[in-house]
Structure 1
Amino acid sequence: MTTTIIRGGTVVNADRAFKADVLCVDDKIVAVGQNLEVPAGAVEIDALGQYVMPGGIDTHTHMQLPFMGTVTADDFFSGTAAGLAGGTTTIMDFVIPNPKQSVLEAYHQWRGWAAKSAGDYTFHVAITWWDESVHRDMGTLVREHGVNSFKHFMAYKNAIMADDETLVRSFTRALELGAIPTVHAENGELVYMLQQDLIKKGITGPSAHPLSRPPEVEAEAANRAIAIANVLNTPVYIVHVSCAESLDAITRARAKGQRVYGEALAGHLVIDDSVYQSEDLEFARAHVMSPPFRSKHHQEALWQGLRGGNLHTTATDHCTFCAEQKAAGKDDFTRIPNGCGGVEDRMSVVWDAGVNSGKLTPSEFVAVTSTNAAQIFNMYPRKGVVAVGADADILVWDPEATRTISAKTQYAKGGFNVFEGRTVRGNPSHTIAAGKVVFANGELRAVEGAGRHVDRPAFAAVTAR
């Protein structure tokens, strides 16, 4: 039996903050209160002057992802270990079947890869094609494998893009099963056309990437996904909202009572599109992700969305490629593997840019980094709260601790960090996952295979066929 007590801190949940000790036995929180008795043999953590918060949930990662002819640098062990160092105790990754690949086969493939995870993990499953087997497999995934969300790429033409028919069929099936559809909102036809036009004009470097994916391309797809969901009466979750126009679409729909949820990436909150104009082409390629980083006014819009409750979660889209992998697109920007890191730094970046600036309160920070994700994806109150009965996934957060982010000191692989050189104030002193101290004062104690798959029950279904 492992017993851990956190003494003298201020517990911060999404709804309130209060002084309390927190007692964990094995992988559960068993007591929250003042002056708790310390059991014999317990690991004791002094949290005086610090916050005690639920472990972070990154709703969007891609570990060990085969993509654009290569595989991401971080596998499930290195990626989740890096997350633990930064205070993220649960990741939500993606099963992405190849076109015509059995959805169940792909799911079991990803589950095998994820067995080495150091922290807890769960999956969104992408619907990249459609026939009756996909309809059947979605039911099996929901009923037997704890999946309650399905991803739809509206981009990546000639690869994994879902057309409107697939969206309609999959959204309808998700509603029947009590699952929530999620979408990558970019008009893949427009992106493809713009890419080809830019290449014909001889604009082949990374500066072309944001030109091929302007905000209007994202907004059109977001509006279309929201409209389809509205007609079908299904909720919908829009991943990596990067621009004011997409946020406007979400805000309008929510004002009319539609269940639409939005996700913001830590990178989109603090990095602007000037990175693509760098004369250092390796640097510019390292920032190629989709949607791209936007001009500064979009960042303020995203912060307003988080404050105003129209954006609900923060994530990273952690998808790391090294310089050699990114160099596959040195002569053609469309061949640059899309993706950036961040799972290790999201919590500190959002705290520093959000809480320290007054944009977010500590409780709002907990909501957008953990609690809202747990509630939207039906993991609450197992995850997302410091309370009796919850998983013992806990951060002891030092609001005054500073560090300068650098690829030289990160645990994540890939050899690059989009937050390079940013000094952040507010970092975890301790990360506890499933009741065990896995990060303490700069020392990472991640254990390969210690992470658990998190089953997420279906929501109340319209029908159950």
Structure 2
Amino acid sequence: MSTVIRGGLVVSPAGAAAADVLVEGERIAAVADPGSALAQAWATAADRTIDATGKYVLPGGIDAHTHMEMPFGGTHSVDTFATGTAAAAWGGTTTIIDFAVQVKGTSLLSTLDKWHAKADGNCAIDYGFHMIVSDVNDESLKEMEACIGAGVNTFKMFMAYPGVFYSTDGEILRAMQRARETGSMVMMHAENGIAIDQLVAQALASGRTDPVHHSLTRPPELEGEATSRAIQLAKVTGAPLYIVHLSASQALAAVAAARDTGQNVYAETCPQYLYLSIEDMAKPDFEGAKYVASPPLREKSHQGDLWRGLRTNDLSVVSTDHCPFCFKDQKELGRGDFSKIPNGIPGVEHRMDLLHQGVVGGELSLSRWVEVASATPARMFGLYPRKGVIAAGSDADIVVYDPTAKQRISAATHHMNVDYSAYEGMEITGQVSTVLSRGEIVIDGGEFHGKAGHGKFLSRDRSQYLI
């Protein structure tokens, strides 16, 4: 099947230019100047023509941080790989990288097998995995190399959640040394979990049980401290470091300072930290539980710093940390005890749209939008140039985006398998018009044309950002 996408503005990190995109099968065959002989020839011969007049033509979005079917606190996130990847496609994301979660006492390779079994044959778009390492020992450190051979070369660790995912500084040091030896990368959830647990216990003992105390017991200073500590451990070992879901000005300052010295440190943030705040967590009648995630939502004063960090590249990527739990029966487990509220906010469907509001509002350039949402994640996680760019030879993961369309975010209309929206009622400008995944139309004309099983597992190469 051949396709020509005509009349659009093709956007890349280097700029935007009018061009026609020529697709043959699963790959982009050429990007041609409108009116050129090549473009005219394809327009005549193509099996299918997509009119992109007045629209942007973007490389498909890459959400490098999702949690489909993730077990947490006696329950699990409600998006399956089928529902979650379909919802991602609705929002212009054509690749996700999910987290395989090691349970203490189990092996990394058996964990990877479990996540393959969940995803295989169920995904509407392409997918890869990171590995969560919660049990650092001689065997798991050895298995890191086998994971790399299996296409998984990023390993997430936690300074939070003692007794569940938490790793000591010594364990983190050993894993970082192993990452340095193998050319892989450690991703860090950076919050001081030991101190946080004390603050949580004190709050509950004094009767402070409402959802807002989830944020108040996880102050930004403890995210900043843990981020600084992770950076120092990475410096000692010579390992690269990627800070996940950075939410606080203090943590950003630590990342920026390290990068200014040339240290190989990177960070992502998430849309919830750009648009939502602790005020949402303070909503009455337990509504604040909908916004409980870790790190927590912060005071609005942090948002300006995060947007600035995206502009300056101290924040390199925007992912969602999509981890959806329904309000009914799941978030409600924490009534009377905020520490029992499942942590997570749904968002895989709205990342591209929410970032486009940054373009509309002057926080991001058009090119930077594409960079943080697609090109940099592809480079960071070993997928470029197969993904993250509209160029000859790349996968035909393409989004035709209408920058003038108006829409209203609502649980009544979203496609995620969750009973609320964290952005309920938000009026936004811009909307996906057409989505192609490896040359196949997944979204078009307000309808889903994809199917479970189309998405393929992506065995990832070494990050292009490792030195």
Q: TM-score, normalised by structure 1?
A: 0.97
Cα distance between partner residues in 1 of 2:59 and 2:142 = 36
Task: Tell me the residue number matched to 2:400.
Answer: 396
Task: Tell me the residue number matched to 1:311.
Answer: 315
Choose the corresponding residue for 2:128, options 122, 126, 134: 122
**Cα distance, 1:38 vs structure 2:** 2.5
Task: Tell me the residue number matched to 1:458.
Answer: 462
Consecutive unaligned residues of structure 1, counting only runs of 5 or more, are: none
Choose the corresponding residue for 1:149, options 154, 177, 180: 154
Amino acid paired to 1:277: A
Cα distance between partner residues in 2 of 1:194 and 1:365 = 38
Whether the 8 Å CA contact 1:178–1:460 is kept in 2: the answer is: no
Task: Tell me the residue number matched to 1:425.
Answer: 429
Task: Tell me the residue number matched to 2:171.
Answer: 166
**Cα distance, 1:420 vs structure 2:** 0.8
**Aligned ranges for residues 19-418 of structure 1 at < 5 Å?**
19-34=18-33, 35=35, 36=39, 37-38=42-43, 40=45, 42-115=47-120, 116-143=122-149, 145-281=150-286, 283-323=287-327, 324-352=329-357, 354-418=358-422
**Cα distance, 1:41 vs structure 2:** 5.4
Per-residue Cα deviation, 1:176-231 (whole angstroms, up to 9, x for no partner): 11111110111110111111010111111212100110101111110011000011
Is 1:8 aligned to residue 7 of structure 2?
A: yes
**Cα distance, 1:3 vs structure 2:** 1.7
The number of equivalent residue pairs is 458
Per-residue Cα deviation, 1:307-335 (whole angstroms, up to 9, x for no partner): 01100111111111112111111121111
Per-residue Cα deviation, 1:347-393 (whole angstroms, up to 9, x for no partner): 001101x1001111110100010111111112111111100011110
Whether the 8 Å CA contact 2:379–2:465 is kept in 1: the answer is: no
Q: TM-score, normalised by structure 2?
A: 0.96
Amino acid paired to 1:5: V
Task: Tell me the residue number matched to 1:443.
Answer: 447
**Cα distance, 1:461 vs structure 2:** 12
Consecutive unaligned residues of structure 2, counting only runs of 5 or more, are: none
Cα distance between partner residues in 1 of 2:13 and 2:342 = 36
Whether the 8 Å CA contact 1:177–1:458 is kept in 2: the answer is: no
- SS in structure 2 of the partner of residue 58 of structure 1: strand
Amino acid paired to 2:93: T
Per-residue Cα deviation, 1:223-252 (whole angstroms, up to 9, x for no partner): 011000011111100001101000000000
Cα distance between partner residues in 1 of 2:117 and 2:289 = 31
Whether the 8 Å CA contact 1:177–1:461 is kept in 2: the answer is: no
**Cα distance, 1:413 vs structure 2:** 1.0
- SS in structure 1 of the partner of residue 43 of structure 2: coil
Cα distance between partner residues in 2 of 1:295 and 1:215 = 10
Runs of 4 or more above 4 Å deviation? 459-462
Cα distance between partner residues in 2 of 1:276 and 1:16 = 39
Cα distance between partner residues in 1 of 2:465 and 2:356 = 37
Whether the 8 Å CA contact 1:176–1:461 is kept in 2: the answer is: no
- SS in structure 2 of the partner of residue 319 of structure 1: coil
Cα distance between partner residues in 1 of 2:183 and 2:449 = 38
Identical aligned residues as a percent:
41
Cα distance between partner residues in 2 of 1:418 and 1:356 = 21
Whether the 8 Å CA contact 2:72–2:342 is kept in 1: the answer is: yes
**Cα distance, 1:259 vs structure 2:** 1.1
**Cα distance, 1:126 vs structure 2:** 1.0
Per-residue Cα deviation, 1:126-178 (whole angstroms, up to 9, x for no partner): 111122210221110112x1112110111111111111122111111111111
Answer with 395-404 or 450-459: which moved more. 450-459
- SS in structure 2 of the partner of residue 60 of structure 1: strand
Cα distance between partner residues in 2 of 1:18 and 1:458 = 30
Amino acid paired to 1:332: D
Amino acid paired to 1:9: G
Cα distance between partner residues in 1 of 2:292 and 2:119 = 26
Shift in alpha-carbon separation, 1:3–1:99, aligned structure 2, 3 A: same
**Cα distance, 1:68 vs structure 2:** 0.8
Cα distance between partner residues in 1 of 2:268 and 2:353 = 17
Whether the 8 Å CA contact 1:175–1:461 is kept in 2: the answer is: no
Cα RMSD (Å) of the superposition? Answer: 1.3
Cα distance between partner residues in 2 of 1:132 and 1:451 = 34
**Cα distance, 1:40 vs structure 2:** 3.7
Shift in alpha-carbon separation, 1:459–1:425, aligned structure 2, 3 A: closer
Per-residue Cα deviation, 1:61-118 (whole angstroms, up to 9, x for no partner): 0001011100111000100100000000011110111111111101110011011111
Amino acid paired to 2:399: L
Cα distance between partner residues in 1 of 2:332 and 2:68 = 20
Amino acid paired to 1:185: A
Cα distance between partner residues in 2 of 1:293 and 1:3 = 46
Answer with 99-108 or 39-48: which moved more. 39-48
Per-residue Cα deviation, 1:30-63 (whole angstroms, up to 9, x for no partner): 1110241226452210001111110001111000
Cα distance between partner residues in 1 of 2:244 and 2:44 = 44
Cα distance between partner residues in 2 of 1:186 and 1:303 = 21
- SS in structure 2 of the partner of residue 99 of structure 1: coil
Cα distance between partner residues in 2 of 1:235 and 1:39 = 49
Cα distance between partner residues in 2 of 1:185 and 1:293 = 15
**Cα distance, 1:120 vs structure 2:** 0.8
Cα distance between partner residues in 1 of 2:463 and 2:289 = 41
